[in-house]
Amino acid sequence: MKLRLYDLPEDRIYVIVSEEFNERLMSKIKSKFKTFTKFYTVFGLNHATFNKWKKARQYPLILIKRMCRKTDISFNDLERNTNGIRSGRFFSKGKFKSTVIYPKFPIKLSSELVRMIAHMLGDGCITISKRGHYNFQYYNKNKFLIKMFKEDARKVFGNLHIHESNNKGTPYIFLPSPVTIIFLQLVKDFHSNTSRIPNFIRNSSLALKREFLRCIFDDEAHVEFRKNQRRIEFALSNEIMINDVKNLLKDFNIKLSKTYKRTDMNGKQKIYFYIRNFVNINKFFKEIGFYHPRKKEKLEKIIKNPGRKSYARGETEKLIINLLQNEMLTVYEISKRLERSYINTSAFVRSLSKEGRIDSIRLGKQKLWKVRI
């Protein structure tokens, strides 16, 4: 996945170019059109307005694309010499100018960008007002996650200004409008009921999928650690996104519960699933985990204090087969490895023997089991 400068809506973006590029562009315009008066006429520009753009080295994207084409300046050359962008309408009579951001084009898929997308699909909010104003807000009460989001934003978009505030007791950060425009080019829908994991993440590396899952679980998961209950719950109001998340987790061989539905105290429907049983929770711990400090701590408690280790249906049989593929073991040794009772393990071994999947041999007084060849 690459997002180029040319991919952005040309009537909503102003491009800030380097001083060297600006001088070279003016030189090429003069060479091409002989006089700036002719250039203004051909492009339908106002002399005073263009001089303001030239002095600030800020040009509407729709205009600078035309200028580069007419003067044979390559698109790659423009991208390399783009120092920043801001949003604003070329044909607007208003004087609105957004805060400048400083991405390096082309914008490539990175851990930082994936984490930001995950958070915006979780506890984020992207809206466009009736006046066409963009809002990009990420809400979270956890200071660590807010700090990490700000650090990721600055790695992707340069040393941009980040506004921080509080809404009814929940801290949030607000990023400039051009960030919203870029995010909407990458992910078309951030609505809480209809959004999906974008294909470029679903088709990405395991490392990037891991970052996405970890961050959306930071926002939307609940870790339960009680005397008789150890599990992870993931809940959203969006069934499509729930299924996308479940499919992404399958890439890490983590088995999940079926999908459930409930209505919360506010009358809103929630769709959710669980990660249960020690094997699956341990896989999540090793493969995904949390950045959220409190959730990370509770997950570590489950791993250190699993209680009675429970397994999903068919999981114990698979674990026994895996053990016996490497060496021959007694029932007692199998039970110790699995941390299950001898009686319980004996029942599974007998079942596997009846199915013809394992055989026993006598070695002195010991009865050893092995996988049937």
Instruction: Verify that 126 and 166 share a domain, yes or no.
Output: yes
> Which pair of tokens denotes residue 253?
């061989």
Instruction: Verify that 228 and 293 share a domain, yes or no.
Output: yes
Report the pLDDT value the prediction gives residue 94, as an integer from 0 to 100.
Answer: 46
Name the residue with higher pLDDT: 92 or 237: 237
363 within a domain of the structure (yes/no): yes
Instruction: Verify that 57 and 78 share a domain, yes or no.
Output: yes
- Mean pLDDT across the chain: 91
Q: Of 193, 219, 246, which residue is a domain's last? A: 193
Total Cβ atoms within 10 A of residue 17:
20
57 within a domain of the structure (yes/no): yes
Q: Of 193, 220, 247, which residue is a domain's last? A: 193
199 within a domain of the structure (yes/no): no
Band of pLDDT at residue 195, cut at 50, 70 and 90: very high
251 within a domain of the structure (yes/no): yes
189: domain CATH number is: 3.10.28.10
Give pLDDT tens digits for 209-226. 999 999 999 999 999 988
Alpha helices by DSSP H, the chain? 19-33, 36-43, 47-56, 61-70, 75-80, 111-122, 143-157, 177-186, 199-202, 206-220, 239-250, 278-287, 293-304, 315-326, 331-338, 342-354
Q: Residue written as tokens 């199915």?
A: 355
Kindly tell me the burial class for residue 85, based on how many C-beta atoms sit within 10 Å of its own C-beta (0-12, 13-18, 19 or more). Answer: buried
309 within a domain of the structure (yes/no): no
Q: Is the pLDDT of residue 113 over 90?
A: yes
Residues contacting residue 242 through CB under 8 Å, at least 6 positions apart: 234, 236, 259, 271, 272, 273
Backbone angles phi, psi at 45, to 5 degrees: -110, 155
Instruction: Verify that 364 and 325 share a domain, yes or no.
Output: yes
The pTM of the full predicted model, rounded to 2 decimals, is 0.82
Domain count, the chain: 4
> Which pair of tokens denotes residue 107?
């914008």
Report the pLDDT value the prediction gives residue 106, as an integer from 0 to 100.
Answer: 95
Instruction: Verify that 234 and 292 share a domain, yes or no.
Output: yes
- Whether the Cβ atoms of residue 177 and residue 87 lie closer than 8 Å to each other: yes
If phi > 0 it is left, if psi is from -120 to 50 it is alpha, else beta; for residue 138 that is beta
213 within a domain of the structure (yes/no): yes
102 within a domain of the structure (yes/no): no
Q: Of 165, 193, 221, which residue is a domain's last? A: 193
- Whether the Cβ atoms of residue 54 and residue 9 lie closer than 8 Å to each other: no
Kindly tell me the burial class for residue 294, based on how many C-beta atoms sit within 10 Å of its own C-beta (0-12, 13-18, 19 or more). Answer: exposed
d(CA 78, CA 76): 5
β-strand pairing of 366-371 with 358-363: antiparallel
Instruction: Verify that 214 and 262 share a domain, yes or no.
Output: yes
94 within a domain of the structure (yes/no): no
Instruction: Verify that 282 and 229 share a domain, yes or no.
Output: yes
Question: Which residue segment(s) compose the domain that 146 sits in?
Answer: 108-193
Instruction: Verify that 22 and 79 share a domain, yes or no.
Output: yes
Instruction: Verify that 268 and 294 share a domain, yes or no.
Output: yes
Instruction: Verify that 271 and 331 share a domain, yes or no.
Output: no
* 132-136: average pLDDT: 85
Instruction: Verify that 125 and 183 share a domain, yes or no.
Output: yes
Cis peptide before 106 (omega within 30 of 0): yes
- Whether the Cβ atoms of residue 139 and residue 171 lie closer than 8 Å to each other: yes
> Which pair of tokens denotes residue 32?
């091409």
**Listed range (17-31, 99-113, 197-211, 352-366) with the worst mean pLDDT:** 352-366
Residue 82: C-alpha distances to residues 5, 57, 69, 151 (Å): 9, 10, 16, 22
**Listed range (16-30, 61-75, 147-161, 354-368) with the worst mean pLDDT:** 354-368
Q: Is the pLDDT of residue 262 over 90?
A: no
Instruction: Verify that 186 and 113 share a domain, yes or no.
Output: yes
DSSP 217-244: HHHHEEEEEETTEEEEEEEES-HHHHHH
Residue 253's nearest CA partner among 337, 315, 326, 320 is 315
3-class DSSP assignment, residue 11: coil
335: domain CATH number is: 1.10.10.10
